[in-house]
Structure 1
């Protein structure tokens, strides 16, 4: 027993000695300074914050004063300077250091690929690699480093906290933001800034946007077209077809405001300024029950929603437009974000503008009148602009208020002049297209489990045209106006860390006006409809380990028709192994406002679509049912996704489809069904990303009153392939090359040998079987180059060059026929072509 006691005493002694040695290994610098002051009878002058967190080993007791100061200078990032025999100053060394670190998720310790690491008050920053690693050079010692990642709480550090005498990098752990259950599944998807969420939706984060083939700006509606199942049959973002649907079947929201217009230059440029947009969420199926009124897809756009507390902004110009945006802090609780963009084409004529103009107006009165009428000359002036403003106010930590406005404008002035008998007569026509929206938000956290979000909005879309024809001395005035107001109230109750319940109510009042007036002969037609819609919805969302599901239901009540439409929603993702996952999605949705294509009242031939409301007689409320099932593979940054889908949309009208055949002026109600397969393979690394996507679909109409009743859809694209490759040549120099190929869309040709038919005094084209032929395949190669550089410490600049249709391929995107004015028994074939080789260049400065 005595031996054991002696052993225990010895062990305790050794442990105490070890702890004692460890405790004196490093001491606070403040204690060491005090000891040096007493030993050498000197006085140190310093700021407490500079030395308070510094620890180091005690200097050798045999050192003299000079040796002690030299030792302190070598072991710290401080400058110890002897002024005289009595005083010594201590200051922070004005130099830069290199920092590095690894960013991980707290829950599973997985590295976060694509996390944003930014040096505050500068434009210096980097994205973490596949291992979560980052490294920044020439960083000021006292610089504040912000590390953020979508779905996680951001963290900030002082740069000197990363300083180490060893080569080891710090480990930074980010905590999941529990308010966001829908986690990021793939952090770098196709290119930097694209992410895949657990529910299958895709997020475009414009702040971290990389580069895509042909683009010089992160154009929202152009960028999403690289996703499988998303097409634009005529290159226009005003005609985006998601899984066979028409553009008006896409629900577009800007900060909760429903938008009825999407493009500048009549569809070639997105009307939403990408430099102020924070993120865009694209959902093709399995939509949350809080969204409806769009039977095809949901494109939800968000601007920055958090106070930054600092002034920031950017300005840029390309060969079409110039823009600027600013984030202006007014106080600690109040901030203003503003942006504006305007075309520069009225001041500068560029090849990009010429190509866009020819593409947009090739089949309009602007291009055709001057060719058909002798002694006539025409001039046109086209201008577009957009603006946004947002006020952010945080009453306190639990109550936040937001208010915003967005305005989109396109204006075309068109002048015609005819010279007869040495006299010239000139008349002007005009087309103005606008969408104005206001929105307000109140976000409240009532306790740790219950939160709410109240949204109210106002949206007004108008298109006005005054078309004066000199040859007939006739004035045609047309108006299409949509006015919608609404509000939505959502409550979120978090049962636990994995399950959240959503309950909500939404009210909408939609009014649509259509007016046409003609002089000589006088004619006036005005039609206005109003529709009230009430909706109640509930939803449960669960996300834990390998399982994600979201199940909900929405009940829509249309007061005018006393009609109730119930819409179930389902979204399930189950991880089968470390590499494989299965997903099942389904939804019912409805839509009460649609666009018809009017070839007679066509707004100068430029815009032939106008919004109308359902009346449940000739125009029913459209409804859709969709189901999809897929398998996803993810390993070593290789993502493969295969999804099969089936969708049926009922309640469409013939006037809604824009037929160029014998059904062009017939009123009928029908449906379309589309079934297909989407495939996407994407391999990413820190320096490159490459992808290939393929979509196969069969899309057919069914109109019971037509003969034949079943025939191919106007946007029946059977095969579509997209490939792309991004590569970082240098840290700041990136290149992107990509191409697309798709089978030609259907068209209808006249009956051979009997091309026209006469009805009364009018001769029509005698079309054959509807959509029985196909145009030649569409193919295009695009490329972009991006270079970023630092202008000043807090000012960054970027130069981007892009080329659309690099091989100058002539693609026919639409074909129809007209009666030959010189021979009423024959027809003339009209071909609309795609953009020719179109270069663009942009220069931006961020500060």
Structure 2
């Protein structure tokens, strides 16, 4: 019996040892060295060619040819036998592998997931299938919103038998995707009501060749810009100053370059943006009209990447630099090309911003010369993974715009020249510490500083006068929050936030000497709590929150409930309900038409809780969605009431231009989106209805249409994506902006303009057709991207605003501002 046991143990140990020997992994270099010693062959190769490869231990008893066959099968490298016992090793010309991406729990395919290699990227089809050509040693990352990112070595994939690759859902994220590819690939509608754009998966939009963050959000239903600028985005009839704009949690008071024509946020460093029109999280304050939240990459990068590009407006650079295995640094920058070359695109932009201002035209005796315009921005993000439980993120952003020109005149046979200028800049800096206390509790501490300055020097050369104006905002915020996972489907968020906001306004005239400086500070203490739950097999999601705010300067408490609820039913249908109360203490005013030389007329101001009230809003919405086999229909009706607005904030250019009073506006509207997605083509059409009306008790007309009332808006778009080619086109039509005209035949009474009832007329309908194309090609270990776009192909003249003045002869003069005309643009980018 003992002999049988001993024999059995011996056989077991022999088999186990043999298995271990067979499965031992060694480096390819070591295997080559052993074969050279055993057979007397010499291998010729580049170190980077074989770096990273491992093979199983080669049986010494095999012949030389059998050993080479094993190396070939395990590495997929090319082994070429030359004379004199010389073998060369090289990479294969093509290494096409494939896979099928599926949900780990359901086994269903995941369509439109991004498969990213070092130099190439592809997207899975409707069946989750993908194929990619990349070196065997590279890793690919597979990403899809709502799932954990998977990282796989190419060498582990096969050429013919396409392996299944399973992605696991992110259970801790209750804001799951409700509708994917909302308009185009990379756009999603979330269960928390937000519409999200993921620029890693983004294709293209009509008229855009770069992922301009604030231009992209205007493609969504209910989001417009009545004057066609990113610094005046109107979410469901609200004004731009009623939007909360966040860049990695830092509140930004400046959003545009070129005084609003392009986004101030570098698209290369911004990973995604979310637009929340209603039902905002209780963790956020401010923004009574909506929230635009931008985010950079959250994960530490382990490989170097970067890009260098230029368009007909600016040059830009982006670097993602690993700093060891636990830290990485992202740096991005843009600089206008106006001081190097003047392009047609620059001319079109400059003409657009300078219409009917002192920059473009002056009185006959004054000549403007040496006009110059420059802008740049610098972005930085540093991420440090201290350990398994702690992560630190540091962000920095600086934005700068400056416009200058000389005013020249001859006075008493003497030539005079003085410079006028407008400078606008912002600085944002923030630091976030995240700590995981255990399996169920995660806390964050976020500190930020946001500073904005607008400085204008207006030289009146005929009166030998200099008028200096400054508007600055300095805001400091501290927020601490905890997220407690009660169960896999439930979480509780709670925390405290302190925000101190200081606004300073300066008016300084040298002749006669007049100086006015007003500085105000308001501190807001806030506590918040939010409960999120998924139930009914994740088909129902409820997010309910409450935010308490205490404004110490006014000794006032404000309680704000927030609600989001979504329900999936009948497999392809879903219902969404949202509501919120919000407030804000900052707003913008327009003091008079030529303020800041007519270029940037808006100044930030703080509420004083009397003549400038605290703005408060109430919103409610109900949405219905259907999605099946590429078809999507989304309908959402909403009601919004905003109280505490000022007439100066609304930008009146009629009989109420210089009136100072407060009131409210009320919006009833609906947003409709219909989309059909084929394999390579996506078609969509959206329609927005709005009834937006003011109520000012102290004005002669107590109720009348809002300046931002756009009753009807239709957008049609299509995108074609084939491999690395993207072509997109779109048509935009909407009702003309409201306007007020002088009474015909009786325009001037007593030296003043005699207006019709406010906003009783409209400009002609706004029409614009855009198109763009992007193409990517891989050359010399880099990706090259080239694109061209045309904004307003038909060169349609769209009037967006007008104002009237009485000249020295007592005649009325009309000044019109029109939108961008035919505006081409092109981009070339190298992606490393």
Q: Does the residue aligned with 1:648 lie in a helix, a strand or coil?
A: strand
In structure 2, the CA distance between the partners of 1:518 and 1:174, relative to structure 1 (3 Å rule), is same
Runs (4+) off by over 6 Å: 26-29, 31-34, 41-49, 78-84, 87-93
Aligned counterpart in structure 1 of residue 771 of structure 2, from 777, 783, 803: 783
Aligned counterpart in structure 2 of residue 250 of structure 1, from 221, 243, 254: 243
For residues 723-745 of structure 1, the C-alpha deviation after alignment (integer angstroms, 9 at most, x for no partner) is 101112x4122211101000111
The 5-angstrom pairing of residues 756-771 of structure 1 reads 756-758=748-750, 763-771=751-759
Residue 411, structure 1, aligned to residue 429, structure 2? no
In structure 2, the CA distance between the partners of 1:97 and 1:562, relative to structure 1 (3 Å rule), is same
Contact 1:698–1:716 (CA under 8 A) maintained in structure 2: yes
Partners of 2:688 and 2:489 in 1: how far apart? Answer: 35
Residue 805, structure 1, aligned to residue 792, structure 2? yes
Residue 481, structure 1, aligned to residue 466, structure 2? no
Aligned counterpart in structure 2 of residue 448 of structure 1, from 439, 452, 458: 439
Residue 827, structure 1, aligned to residue 819, structure 2? no
Aligned counterpart in structure 2 of residue 553 of structure 1, from 539, 542, 546: 546
Q: CA RMSD in A?
A: 2.9
Q: Which residue of the partner structure matches residue 383 of structure 2?
A: 392
Residue 742, structure 1, aligned to residue 716, structure 2? no
In structure 2, the CA distance between the partners of 1:421 and 1:74, relative to structure 1 (3 Å rule), is closer
Q: Does the residue aligned with 2:200 lie in a helix, a strand or coil?
A: helix
Partners of 1:277 and 1:835 in 2: how far apart? Answer: 26
Partners of 1:374 and 1:155 in 2: how far apart? Answer: 69
Q: Which residue of the partner structure matches residue 184 of structure 2?
A: 191
Contact 1:732–1:789 (CA under 8 A) maintained in structure 2: yes
In structure 2, the CA distance between the partners of 1:618 and 1:80, relative to structure 1 (3 Å rule), is closer
Residue 618, structure 1, aligned to residue 611, structure 2? yes
Alpha-carbon offset, residue 834 of structure 1: 0.8
Partners of 2:304 and 2:248 in 1: how far apart? Answer: 22
Alpha-carbon offset, residue 249 of structure 1: 0.3
Q: Does the residue aligned with 1:357 lie in a helix, a strand or coil?
A: helix
Which stretch of the first structure deviates more once superposed, 771-780 or 654-663?
654-663
Q: Which residue of the partner structure matches residue 100 of structure 2?
A: 102
TM-score by length of 1: 0.89
Q: Does the residue aligned with 2:349 lie in a helix, a strand or coil?
A: helix
Q: Which residue of the partner structure matches residue 8 of structure 1?
A: none
Q: Which residue of the partner structure matches residue 114 of structure 2?
A: 116
Partners of 1:213 and 1:742 in 2: how far apart? Answer: 17
In structure 2, the CA distance between the partners of 1:48 and 1:555, relative to structure 1 (3 Å rule), is closer
In structure 2, the CA distance between the partners of 1:792 and 1:564, relative to structure 1 (3 Å rule), is same
In structure 2, the CA distance between the partners of 1:417 and 1:163, relative to structure 1 (3 Å rule), is same
The 5-angstrom pairing of residues 426-465 of structure 1 reads 426-465=417-456
Q: Number of residue pairs matched?
A: 797
Aligned counterpart in structure 2 of residue 528 of structure 1, from 519, 522, 526: 519
Partners of 2:63 and 2:301 in 1: how far apart? Answer: 47
Partners of 2:166 and 2:513 in 1: how far apart? Answer: 73
In structure 2, the CA distance between the partners of 1:600 and 1:107, relative to structure 1 (3 Å rule), is same
Partners of 1:459 and 1:422 in 2: how far apart? Answer: 49
Residue 217, structure 1, aligned to residue 222, structure 2? no
Contact 1:80–1:89 (CA under 8 A) maintained in structure 2: no
In structure 2, the CA distance between the partners of 1:709 and 1:791, relative to structure 1 (3 Å rule), is same
In structure 2, the CA distance between the partners of 1:840 and 1:66, relative to structure 1 (3 Å rule), is closer
Contact 1:50–1:92 (CA under 8 A) maintained in structure 2: no
Alpha-carbon offset, residue 250 of structure 1: 0.3
In structure 2, the CA distance between the partners of 1:362 and 1:88, relative to structure 1 (3 Å rule), is closer
Q: Which residue of the partner structure matches residue 717 of structure 1?
A: 710
Residue 706, structure 1, aligned to residue 699, structure 2? yes
Partners of 1:42 and 1:417 in 2: how far apart? Answer: 89
TM-score by length of 2: 0.91
> Which structure 2 segments of 5+ residues have no match?
1-14, 27-36, 44-49
Contact 1:800–1:843 (CA under 8 A) maintained in structure 2: yes
In structure 2, the CA distance between the partners of 1:724 and 1:82, relative to structure 1 (3 Å rule), is closer
Q: Which residue of the partner structure matches residue 489 of structure 2?
A: 498
Alpha-carbon offset, residue 239 of structure 1: 0.7
Which stretch of the first structure deviates more once superposed, 736-745 or 326-335?
326-335
In structure 2, the CA distance between the partners of 1:447 and 1:66, relative to structure 1 (3 Å rule), is closer
Which stretch of the first structure deviates more once superposed, 167-176 or 612-621?
167-176
For residues 695-731 of structure 1, the C-alpha deviation after alignment (integer angstroms, 9 at most, x for no partner) is 0110000011112210000011000000101112x41
Q: Which residue of the partner structure matches residue 276 of structure 1?
A: 269
Q: Which residue of the partner structure matches residue 783 of structure 2?
A: 796
> Which structure 1 segments of 5+ residues have no match?
1-22, 35-40
Partners of 1:28 and 1:77 in 2: how far apart? Answer: 21
In structure 2, the CA distance between the partners of 1:197 and 1:829, relative to structure 1 (3 Å rule), is same
Contact 2:366–2:407 (CA under 8 A) maintained in structure 1: no
Which stretch of the first structure deviates more once superposed, 320-329 or 713-722?
320-329
Alpha-carbon offset, residue 184 of structure 1: 1.9
Contact 1:329–1:336 (CA under 8 A) maintained in structure 2: yes
Q: Does the residue aligned with 2:302 lie in a helix, a strand or coil?
A: coil
Partners of 1:330 and 1:32 in 2: how far apart? Answer: 32
Q: Which residue of the partner structure matches residue 129 of structure 1?
A: 125
Q: Which residue of the partner structure matches residue 178 of structure 1?
A: 171
Alpha-carbon offset, residue 431 of structure 1: 1.0
Contact 1:77–1:92 (CA under 8 A) maintained in structure 2: no
For residues 56-96 of structure 1, the C-alpha deviation after alignment (integer angstroms, 9 at most, x for no partner) is xx9xxxx9958856875786556898999xx9999897564
In structure 2, the CA distance between the partners of 1:790 and 1:83, relative to structure 1 (3 Å rule), is closer
Contact 2:78–2:91 (CA under 8 A) maintained in structure 1: no
Contact 2:457–2:466 (CA under 8 A) maintained in structure 1: yes
Partners of 2:456 and 2:681 in 1: how far apart? Answer: 48
Which stretch of the first structure deviates more once superposed, 167-176 or 261-270?
167-176
Contact 2:443–2:481 (CA under 8 A) maintained in structure 1: yes
